[in-house]
A and B are shown apart, each in its own frame.
Chain A
Amino acid sequence: MTALSITYVVLFYVAMIILFGGLINKIMLYARVPAPLKIPVTPAPLTKAGVVYRIFYEVVFFNSLFRGSKWTWIFGWMFHLSLLLAFFRHLRYVISPDSFIWPLVNNMVVQSFGHYAGFTMVIGLAGLLARRILVDRVRYISSPSDYLMLLLIMGIGVTGLGIAYVSHTDVVQLKAFIMGLFLFDWQNLPSDNVLLVHLTLVLLLAVIFPISKLLHAPGLFFAPTRNQVDNPREQRHISPWGAELEAKDGRNA
């Protein structure tokens, strides 16, 4: 194996450990910290099923954002949907052709949608970046990291397109490398520059994910303003520390 390949094998493992370790850690934190009070933003659903629907609508359509800012919604939704489609397309690198889900991934629809998603993703990101620069309010709230995050993902998109259109790589060897990571049977990585930049940026994104605003993805599911059922009169809501307080003075007895 080449030194380059060994380096990337190590980097991949480190990045994945940070990504999943960090994410699991954060998600467990969010789950552990109690919500002591009922604070759904109303009108809110009266049932658990209603809450599932509410969150589903937010995740899939960015409903509140749609009401809040049409331009951000257009670009943001375009970017995220493209990201999802691109993600599906990439599954063919990690799924074995013998697997029963292979046909679900390796078909015309997934592959061509995923292909064009590269363009719409970059367009969406460019729109978000333009808004960040041009709208005085959004510029005011932006830190360097906010611009860099957009540039980073744009970089991933552009290099991805570069691989697809300009500087093709040996996809068979690439797949062997990635499958090797799963099977602990390490293989060489093709050494095209564009591919290496693409992979490096992806690893960087993975490392940044659990320590950045990308935590919005899990955070969305944990916001008490959105995930609580509107039933405070019917069902008593009490947190462990609230109950302790009660037990101490007995005034709720």
Chain B
Amino acid sequence: MADYEVPETHEFPIIPSIMEGAMAHSSPFVAGKEFQDDMGFPSPEEPGKLIDGWKEKFLEIMQDKLNKYRSLQVFMDGCVKCGACTDKCHYFIGTSDPKNMPVARQDLLRKVYRRYFTFAGKYFPKLVGAVDLTEDVIKEMYSYYHQCSECRRCAVFCPFGIDTAEVTMAARDILAMIGMGQKYSNQIIPKVHKIGNNLGLPEPALLDTLEGLEEEIEDDTGVKVRFPLDEKGADILLVTPSADFFAEPHVDGLMGYGKVFHAAGVSWTLSSKASEAANFGLFIGNYEHMREISLRIRDAAKELGVKRIVFGECGHAWRVAYNHLNTLAGPWDFLDQNYPIPQHILEFTKDCLDRGILNIDKSENDHMTLTFHDSCNIARASRIGEDPGSQFTTPRQVIQAVCNNYYDMAPETTHDQTFCCGGGGGLLTDDLMELRIKGALPRMEALKNAVSDKGVTHMAAICAICKSQFTKVLPYYGMTMDQIVSVHQLVSNAIVLDGQGEEAEESDDAEETA
């Protein structure tokens, strides 16, 4: 565990006084030429510089974005600097850096917008805080637009619905187009395009992993639960984040999905081509890449001839799937219209539980007292279930259907007020470790309080990024990495399969592989 200054947690949340420049040094690695090339983005002659004519290019792309995205156009104009969002961002709370206040983050771009695109900024720049576009401004943007996890907490409280995430996405895309792409995301996306998943796991490796899971479940339960890959004619295509194939606690969740499908008696398959639910095209604000990644799923569904698509536990992946899959890769007229397209695994499991077709032994989870972390992209950018807000109730209902001990964390940190794990939005990279630790503060604080007040031992999540982030940061806050669990891991523990023999001991030696 490398040494970082970990912010103090408190019994009650504290809004810090501002400390200018506190995080000015935080900046992820810039994508080198190879990755920029792979993405179809330009790279500068010399590393660390910007492309020739970057300034004109920046303004040109910005104009294009203003013409294409109503959100950006309206948000650039509409902010009244009321300050309601200033204390809402976990990165501000954890770092005290005023440029991590959502409105100040937007302002990095808005100052340029005003200077070049508005009357007031063209003629009275000082009056309205407009600035010239310089290399320093670009560097600052690169730094602070990579201190935003696009979690939308600020948007909940803004009287005009101004969503800083939209501004961050636009800014990141513009930066990438002038040679300042982020290495982490730009390294990952081409792997999805070429191989099918973020990790670059080829088909044989996947097959191997899935066989391993089948063996593990058989050893545990004596029941053969299948994890099919590329099986033509299956009813359901499961698209799940690739971390589910090997990382802890993700993989326990995947075993849970497999058991639920098995118990429900449906035919399903994974696809090696669409062996990834994540869509980092969202993070970098690039419609074309996001579409390309989504179209893989369309192609896979057609090739395999499935009737339904179900998504595994992942926050931003579900945001893209729920909101954008229809837009980017639809229409889905070739799928069975009797089911939601796409469907979330929790919707599937909840339905099975409601219909009473799962045999559940809740006591299997009695060694834990649980709480639930609402992932930002599920809470504020999508829905699971039929009613507004059922993204909050569905996971809790499933957890409570398989566990006896459950408590919520403080209400100002759950539901649509949930705090980001600190590692979302394309920031789950080691070069941003300090930011990730500090950004986790509000969630860690709420968890710690639930631990001390309610005796909570474990926190369940439905997002691959949250799970990886928490395994990393929990130890910094004096907790252990196995305190984060997958919701379907709980389902997996409790489900009793037909023909399940002697209970095998559940293994506790969670290993960090994320």
Contact = CB atoms under 8 A, between A and B. Distances in A.
A64 B161 contact: yes
Given A76-B82, A211-B120, A236-B330, A65 B157 contact: yes
B383 A213 contact: no
Q: Which of the four size classes fits the interface of chain B?
A: 35 or more
B81 to A, nearest CB: 5
14 contacts: A33-B69, A34-B69, A37-B323, A42-B388, A44-B388, A65-B82, A141-B98, A141-B107, A144-B127, A148-B127, A223-B71, A223-B75, A230-B383, A245-B291
Contact of B84 (A37, A41, A68): A68
A39 B416 CA distance: 15
A141 B82 CA distance: 9
Interface in B32-85: 66-71, 73-75, 77-85
Q: 8 smallest A-B Cβ distances: which pairs?
A: A68-B157, A219-B78, A143-B129, A68-B84, A43-B388, A138-B83, A225-B161, A223-B161
A64 B380 contact: no
Contacts of B128: 143-145, 212
Nearest to B66: A33
A139 B136 CA distance: 23
B416 A42 contact: yes
Interface string A116-150: 00000000000000011001111011111110100
Interface in A193-228: 211-213, 215-216, 219-220, 222-226
A216 B80 contact: yes
Contacts of A238: 327
Contacts of A233: 322, 326, 340-342
Given A42-B382, A145-B120, A211-B118, A37 B327 contact: yes
A220 B156 CA distance: 14
Interface in B381-437: 381-383, 387-389, 391, 416
A108 B157 CA distance: 38
Contacts of A68: 84-85, 88, 156-159
A45 interface: yes
A230 B78 contact: no
Interface in A6-49: 26, 29-30, 33-39, 41-46
Contact of B67 (A33, A137, A142, A143): A33
B84 A69 contact: yes
A242 interface: yes
Given A33-B66, A68-B159, A242-B287, A135 B83 contact: yes
Contacts of B159: 58, 62, 64-65, 68, 76, 216, 220
A43 B166 contact: no
Contact of A144 (B70, B83, B126, B329): B126
A182 interface: no
Contact of A30 (B70, B162, B340): B70
B77 A140 contact: no
Report which residue of B159, B160, B162 has the largest number of chain A beta carbons within 10 angstroms of its beta carbon.
B159
A103 interface: no
B187 interface: no
A68 B155 CA distance: 10
Interface of A: 26, 29-30, 33-39, 41-46, 58, 62, 64-65, 67-69, 72, 76, 131-132, 135-138, 140-146, 148, 211-213, 215-216, 219-220, 222-226, 230, 232-233, 236-239, 241-242, 245, 251-252
Nearest to B102: A141
Contact of B163 (A39, A140, A142): A39
Contacts of B129: 143-145
A124 to B, nearest CB: 13
A41 B152 contact: yes
B87 interface: yes
Nearest to B67: A33
B295 interface: yes
A149 to B, nearest CB: 9
A65 B155 CA distance: 10
A213 B87 contact: no
